[in-house]
Amino acid sequence: MGTSFPHSDCSRSSGCRPSASSTGRRRCFGAKWRDRARTPDAAGKQKTWKPLSARSVEICRTVLGTILEDARKKKHIAANPMADVATFEVPERELHFLTPMQVKALCEWVGPFYAVLYLILAFCGIRIGEATGLQRGDVDLERGLLFVRREVIWHRKRCPHHEKKCRRRGRACPQGETACQRTAPTWKITPPKTKHEIRVVEIPAPMVPLLIAHLDTLTGRPNRLDLVFPNEVGTPLYPKNIRRRHFVPAVKKLGIPDVRQHDLRRTFIAAHVEARTHPKLIQERAGHSRFSVIMDIYAKIVGKMPLGKEEEAKLNDITMKALPAFTPEGPEKESGQKAADPVDTPEAESQAEGESQQEEETGREDSEL
């Protein structure tokens, strides 16, 4: 069981153990499932599935290991088979956030409706599910406050004729090939998961007129839930559609690389870091339960930002204290006399060569004695 060897089918160089399969080995936990079953769809085309990311595989390993460890403690199994499985190395993702000019360009590209949504995400720090669940009663424009009290939860699409989740349309269906279709995603409005997510966030004063104008445009539109950001039929917006139809095309057109829609929350933290807000205040407004999470992001963002004028002035004062007392004529000697500048002339050079030869002859005579 302790044998390990590398192979080309896996992203790990070790950790695979032999099994009773025909190949004599099984892939280590975290291999890319390139040989998984692929069923042609109704049109005869073969569906190609993207391999899982390193983080997704590590999450699966952690959850499975936790379940089996609980079963071992309750004596349902003799040992936890995941105990000896090495952790999958997840590369740390570089922290990205948008600058104020990039947020401005993004808002101008997506239009007035989604511009207000992205401004709230970027400068109020709420999540996309919390933003789509905002109702008019959650917005206090007089005091400039936003009350986060609920969020929208979306469920995956299911086949109406299967108990299991239908992942593609080509699966054989007892009602016929055309009946196995994906249904529309379902949603429900629920309270936040933790007490830390129930919070009050300040709305920046420049955003209040834009938000007032946005709410005025909703008059006469279907909006039975009184949402701040309803769709055409008055129900919550689908976050994946927002990302695919608006955010992704905008960042591609503007040439902003490696930015996700969720990075607008990092933009919120970056704006407060530049405003010198205390990290604890940022944690409360971002809705993080652990202070270490916000400090980790805070430290990474601070390291990327230039020094402020106040810090630069203090650093200059400290540097001035360390400078030696030089004068324009040159450094002063211990005797108080000023050092003469060397004269770069042919006569001075020949005189220096003569002095060096005389010193060499004197040293030779001393060595002979």
Give me the tens of pLDDT residue by residue for the chain, a chain 369 residues long. Answer: 433 334 444 444 444 444 334 344 444 554 444 334 344 444 555 555 567 777 788 888 889 999 999 999 999 999 999 888 877 677 777 788 999 999 999 999 999 999 999 999 999 999 999 999 999 999 999 999 999 999 999 876 555 555 454 544 444 555 554 445 555 678 899 999 888 899 999 999 999 999 999 999 999 889 989 999 999 999 999 999 999 999 999 999 999 988 999 999 999 998 988 888 888 898 899 888 888 888 888 888 877 777 778 878 888 888 888 878 766 665 554 445 555 555 555 555 566 566 666 666 665 555 555
- Name the one residue in this structure whose structure tokens are 């406050």: 145
Q: Look at residues 108, 95, 16 and name the one whose alpha carbon lies nearest to residue 304.
A: 95
pTM: 0.64
What pLDDT is attached to residue 276? 84
Q: What are phi and psi of 156, to 5 degrees?
A: -70, 160
Helices 291-304, 279-286: axis angle to 10 degrees equals 120
> What is the sign, positive or negative, of the torsion defined by CA atoms of 122, 251, 214, 149?
negative
Give the Å distances, CA to CA, from 343 to 38, 352, 355: 85, 11, 15
Beta-bridge mates of residue 135: 227
User: What gap in Å lies between CA 250 and CA 188, rounded to an integer?
Assistant: 29
| CA distances from residue 91 to 58, 87, 113, 150 in whole angstroms, order as listed | 11, 12, 36, 33
**Closest to 116 (Cα-Cα) out of 245, 204, 224, 187:** 204
Phi, psi at 83, each rounded to 5°: -65, -35
Distance between CA 337 and CA 132 in Å, rounded? Answer: 78
Count CB atoms within 10 A of the CB of residue 177: 13
pLDDT at 52: 74
| HEC string for 82-107 | CCCCCCCCCCCCCCCCCCHHHHHHHH
* pLDDT on residue 79: 92
The domains of the chain are located at 1-91, 100-150+194-304, 154-190
CA distance 138 to 348: 86
Apex 129 CA angle, 128 and 131, nearest 5: 65
Q: What does DSSP assign to residue 246? A: I
For residue 320, the model assigns a pLDDT of: 82
How confident is the model at residue 36, as a pLDDT? 44
Tell me what pLDDT residue 14 has.
41
On whether the 100-150+194-304 domain is CATH 1.20.58.340, my answer is: no
The rounded distance, in Å, linking the Cα atoms of 23 and 286 is 51
pLDDT value of residue 308: 75
Q: How far, CA to CA in Å, does 348 sit from each of 3, 65, 343, 351, 357?
A: 79, 83, 7, 5, 14
